Amino acid sequence: MNIAEIAKMAGVSRAAVSRYFNDGYISEEKREAIRLVVEETGYRPSVQAQMLRTKKSKMIGVIVPKIASAAIGRVVEGLLAGLDRNGYQMLLAVAQNDPEKELEYLAAFRDKQVDGVVLVATVFTAKHKRMLKDLSVPVVIVGQRLSGYCCVFHDDYHATYDLTKLLIKRGRKKLGFMGAIPQDQAAGAERYRGFCDAVCDMGCGELAENTVTAAFTMESGYEKAGELLEKCNGLDGLVCATDTMAAGAVQYMREHDSRLLERILVAGHGDSAMAKVTAPPLITVRYSYAKSGEIAVQMLMDLLGHVEGAVREVKLGCCIVEPDGGEN
């Protein structure tokens, strides 16, 4: 079965069938006639042949640091929804939090036929930046901000600033902060900056030293909570860069001295399911993860379509979610 046979069965020209498969204009009558023949015969055009004709694969390469993350999962859901609406498929690469694997995947996407690349929550090194310059396809970045590229990210600074102020207003006078590595511009540097500015603005600047750096796991949150409590006696509030870290900290307190949970108010970021099932539930920050994925797709479509005046940067807001269901 080929295009000529489809055209004959549908009673249309070969050009009409070609336009049908390449999203070109044809009348609704001809489109329906072709659709019925395609449905009846089960015909599928050769992907390779389409690529040769259109120079497009209709595939988008997406690199994520890990898949076992509620936040990353929601971003991917948004990407999938947006790509599906636009007739694209996703080629997903999971780097397992290994920067070298991210570089390997970037090299693979550079050499393979993808129409664009989306990077999610990438911690950019000099090697990343050099390799990005070698890519000949559009790139959109989600969850981080990198000069010279289209980015969609959240207002992490104000998220942590407002969260910290809320704990202070709740009467917490000796706060601690469990953050991510500073090379992570969003979850690391911006959230730490928000914490420091909030405690300084509330007249508690010395608290900026009550910090530890953790990995994005419960195990690390558990371990680093022990370190922080050992060096900072009398903590009554703890702001964590993620809900996962916060859940690990709560587990440590419960196992070592459950009375700590009566004194220390724990907060995280992400509004994950973990924030709700942790006992006691966490105060947390809700981000528009799925929306960020959909916006990233629209940015990519604009780049692919060479749309003039296309948006280059979108910063999304967020809100604080309290255990009683309230939002700020």
Q: Which domains does the chain have, with CATH numbers?
A: 3-54 (1.10.260.40), 59-154+289-317 (3.40.50.2300), 156-287 (3.40.50.2300)
CA dihedral 186, 191, 197, 201 (to 10 degrees): 130
Which of 163, 193, 165 lies closest to 179 in space, CA to CA? 193
Percent residues over pLDDT 90 in the chain? 71
pTM of the predicted protein model: 0.81
User: How many other CB atoms are found less than 10 A from the CB of residue 85?
Assistant: 12
Rounded Cα distance, 294 and 296, in Å: 5
pLDDT 10s digits, 296-318: 999 999 999 888 877 899 999 99
Rounded Cα distance, 104 and 107, in Å: 5
Q: 118: part of which helix (H) or strand (E)?
A: strand 116-120
pLDDT 10s digits, 51-79: 545 467 789 999 999 988 889 999 999 99
- Mean pLDDT estimate for the chain: 91
pLDDT 10s digits, 11-31: 999 888 878 877 678 888 988
